């Protein structure tokens, strides 16, 4: 009997970037290392992704404000819940709706983050969803706001952001634009720009907006801005250091997505997990940071007054699998007690 020689390639252990950027994983992680973004094709089966999109349409129609998915003339703020020009919907407990939690609990979505952090012990953000309708004249235009979602004073890989795309999203259908490779230049950039005079105001330290000068610097370094194209069910991932923003659709195609951001529970303090537990119990929204760094509880307006259609809980109580419940951080908190 002859012997065979087998070459076994084992993916490096530890969190992504912990072994530098010259290692090879043989999957989407290589793109994250090199480019600062990646697409996991079909992380959610297409049929299921379209079902989640249906769920969002049903939810929008359920406000009974006159919106009908087949009638573009009803795409108007008078017929819709409050959605800003960036497509962000920040009210109505949408972070805890069935479709939102459904996407967060998708096994292949969770698995992608498990691979990146090399642990199954993760928590998920109670983030928003994106609802971008084309040809909107009833709200202000969406201007580019290139930014990083990370404190310049806290360098290194800290957070992987993600979204699950739910509708066909071609080159002109709007969506996420990323600056390829700029995650690796972040430290150098902030060293150079630390005494920048014209800083863009931010309500949180975990956000940095690029000025014209900053964008020129990136351009000189040869960085290219890429609009990511995606099919229903594709998971888009990007390093928080990667400059990004979104653009509106230039076609008749709407864009729906659910933001999914996970981090190891070990990165959160007990205090943060307590805040997160409260946010979950009160079905409140957080930003993309899964450690509930910021709980979002902003008033929602309709014609300048408190929106009478605002609500503080989802249509149905949140349904979680055991795996999903772990993602709230609550079981880990119980272990700490
Ligand atoms: Fe962002």
Residue 14 domain-assigned? no
**pLDDT tens-digit series, residues 238-257:** 999 999 999 999 999 999 99
Question: What average pLDDT does the segment 205-219 reach?
Answer: 96
**pLDDT tens-digit series, residues 25-57:** 999 999 999 999 999 999 999 999 999 999 999
**pLDDT tens-digit series, residues 229-238:** 999 999 999 9
> Distance, CA 7 to ligand 1 centroid (Å)?
41
Residue 303 domain-assigned? yes
Residue 15 domain-assigned? no
Question: What average pLDDT does the segment 143-147 reach?
Answer: 94
**pLDDT tens-digit series, residues 252-295:** 999 999 999 999 999 999 999 999 999 999 999 999 999 988 89
> Distance, CA 147 to ligand 1 centroid (Å)?
6
Residue 12, pLDDT score: 85
CATH number of the domain residue 189 falls in: 2.60.120.620
> Distance, CA 233 to ligand 1 centroid (Å)?
20
Work out the pLDDT band at 10, boundaries 50, 70, 90: confident
Residue 316 domain-assigned? yes
The residues whose Cβ lies within 5 A of ligand 1, an ion, are 149
Residue 18 domain-assigned? no
Number of domains in the chain: 1
**pLDDT tens-digit series, residues 52-102:** 999 999 999 999 999 999 999 999 999 999 999 999 999 999 999 999 999
> Distance, CA 89 to ligand 1 centroid (Å)?
14
Residue 1, pLDDT score: 44
CB neighbours of 80 closer than 8 A, spacing ≥ 6? Answer: 60, 63, 65, 67
> Distance, CA 92 to ligand 1 centroid (Å)?
21
pLDDT over 50 (residue 218): yes
Residue 4 domain-assigned? no
Residue 2, pLDDT score: 45
Q: Which helix (H) or strand (E) holds 259?
A: strand 255-259
Residue 292, pLDDT score: 87
> Distance, CA 80 to ligand 1 centroid (Å)?
24
- Nearest in space to 209 (alpha carbons), one of 149, 155, 160: 149
- What range does the domain containing 185 cover? 28-336
Tell me the whole-structure pTM to 2 decimals: 0.95
Reported for 49-55, long-range contacts at CB under 8 A and 24+ positions apart, including other chains, are 49/164, 49/165, 49/166, 49/232, 49/233, 50/166, 50/167, 50/232, 52/99, 52/102, 52/103, 52/164, 52/166, 52/256, 52/258, 53/166, 53/167, 53/232, 53/256, 55/97, 55/98, 55/99, 55/102
> Distance, CA 330 to ligand 1 centroid (Å)?
26
> Distance, CA 27 to ligand 1 centroid (Å)?
24
Residue 20 domain-assigned? no
């Amino acid at each position: 009997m002859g012997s065979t020689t087998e070459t076994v390639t084992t993916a490096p252990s530890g969190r992504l970037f912990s072994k530098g950027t010259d290692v090879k994983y043989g999957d989407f992680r290589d793109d994250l290392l090199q480019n600062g973004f990646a697409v996991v094709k079909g992380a959610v089966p297409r049929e299921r992704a379209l079902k989640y999109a249906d769920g969002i349409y049903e939810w929008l129609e359920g406000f009974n404000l006159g919106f009908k998915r087949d009638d573009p003339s009803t795409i108007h703020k008078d017929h819709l819940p409050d959605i800003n020009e960036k497509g962000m919907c920040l009210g109505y407990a949408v972070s805890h709706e069935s479709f939102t939690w459904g996407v967060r609990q998708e096994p292949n979505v969770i698995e992608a983050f498990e691979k990146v952090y090399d642990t199954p012990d993760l928590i998920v953000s109670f983030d928003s969803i994106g609802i971008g309708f084309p040809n909107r004249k009833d709200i202000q235009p969406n201007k580019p706001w290139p930014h990083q979602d990370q404190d310049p004073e806290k360098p290194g890989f800290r957070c992987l952001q993600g979204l699950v795309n739910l509708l066909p999203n071609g080159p002109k259908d709007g969506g996420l634009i990323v600056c390829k490779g700029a995650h690796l230049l972040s430290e150098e950039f902030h060293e150079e720009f630390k005494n920048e005079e014209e800083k863009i105001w931010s309500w949180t330290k975990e956000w940095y907006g690029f000025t014209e000068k900053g964008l020129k610097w990136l351009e000189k370094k040869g960085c290219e801005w890429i609009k990511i194209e995606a099919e229903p069910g594709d998971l888009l991932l990007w390093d928080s250091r990667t400059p990004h923003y979104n653009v509106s659709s230039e076609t008749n195609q709407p864009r729906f997505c659910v933001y999914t951001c996970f981090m190891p529970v070990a990165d959160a303090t007990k205090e943060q997990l307590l805040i997160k537990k409260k946010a979950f119990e009160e079905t409140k929204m957080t930003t993309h940071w899964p450690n509930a760094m910021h709980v979002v509880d902003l008033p929602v307006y309709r014609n300048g007054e408190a929106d009478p259609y605002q609500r503080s809980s989802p249509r149905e109580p949140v349904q979680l699998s055991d795996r999903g419940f772990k993602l709230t951080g609550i079981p880990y908190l119980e272990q700490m007690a």
